[in-house]
Structure formats: C-alpha cells, structure tokens
Amino acid sequence: MSIEELKEALPFFTDTELLQQILSKSQIMDLKAGKVLMEPGQFIKMVPIVLEGSIKISRIGDDGRELFLYFLDAGETCALSLTCCSSSKPSEIKAVVEEDAIIIGIPITSIDQLSDEFKQWKDFISNTYQRRFQEMLVALDAVAFKRMDERLMRYIVTKMKQHKTNELHITHLEIANELTTSREVVSRLLKQLEKKKWIELGRNVIYIRDDFEELISR
C-alpha cells in the first residue's frame, strides 16, 4: 500500500510523516467475514484500524452469552483494545470480522511513540475513546432500561445501516445471542413485527421495509 492509498483510506491523517510511520511499522491484513481477531483472555499484540469492511466488538459473559457493543467501520479503531494495550492487560472483548475487511495492524509497541510524536495520532486516539464511550453508554442503557422489543428494533436498524441493505441474512439464534436473550423471545418478537407488515421473515433472512426506522420512531 502506498502513502497516497493510505491517505485516501484515512483522510483525517494529513501528516505525511505520520502516514509513513504507520506504514513502516504496521501490517496490512485482508480478512474474511467470520474471522475471529480477538478472544477474551488473549493478550493484544496489535491495534487494528479498519480500512475497508467492518468488525463487530462484543463482550462475553460468564455464561458464554455475547453482548454486542459496537461495530468498527472504515477509518475506526477499537478503544477497548487501546485500553488493554495501555494497561498491559488481556483482552476483555471479542472481535469478529462482520464483513470482509482490510485492516492495518499497528504493534502495541508503537502506540505510545506515535502519540508522543504526532498530535494527529493523539487526537485520533482521544476522539476514539470519546466516541466509543458514548456508544457503550447506549449499549448499557439498552440493556438496563429498554424493553426487548425496543432493543430488537434498534438492533435491526443498526444492522441495516451496517450492511447497507434491507435484507439481513441472520438466524434468530444469532440475534438472540447478541441481545443476550433466548431464540424463542426473538422469534416471537419478529413474528409480531411481521404481523405489522414491518418486516417479512424467510429462512435465515429478514426482509425489512424501507421506512422501518421511521415506523419504529413514531
């Protein structure tokens, strides 16, 4: 990858020297959907910045249930990975490639150096912490205060925006795992949405109306 290609993928970095440092220290990885990048308990050796595609970040409970936290899209990195790096602690999250992705992996040994030498990098890290903190508050609020039907509808909207499609290929069990509930509950709630004609259910696929987000906000 050239400096110009990296600058196009990460337009907020305009410092050519910073881009050169990132390229010289890092590894470009082409990853297929479903690839597990990180499991809880593993020590993080590099911090990923997504260039293309997306990565799903989740927490895993003691009972093995998965709680979805946020997606990493193009140009974004993981605040929780940065936190584990700075404290030399093992990972507390699971990272799975949601859509085929290209990432640039920056070794943890280079993170502090880049922060010391480049203000743009320091600002990028600061903005990452702020944005992810807000997203995790949203996830916490959903678990603590929202009914499951509301959480399910917001989940569908998030998936629609993530994949840029109204056709979600996903099983009821996968949704249940991400929302930390049972498959039966998810199936019942999806049937209710289908009765309203807001969605249509197929075999491991959900077809969603174009105005779905508008409908649920009324």
What pLDDT digit, counting tens, does each position of 108-167 carry? 888 888 889 999 999 998 888 888 777 777 766 666 656 888 889 989 998 888 888 899
Average pLDDT over residues 67-94: 80
pLDDT digits (tens, 9 = 90+) for 192-208: 999 999 999 998 899 99
Q: Could you tell me the domains of the chain?
A: 3-144 (2.60.120.10), 146-216 (1.10.10.10)
Would you say residue 65 has pLDDT above 70?
yes
Q: What does the alpha-carbon distance between residue 32 and residue 96 come to, in Å, rounded to a whole number?
A: 10
- Averaged pLDDT of the chain: 86
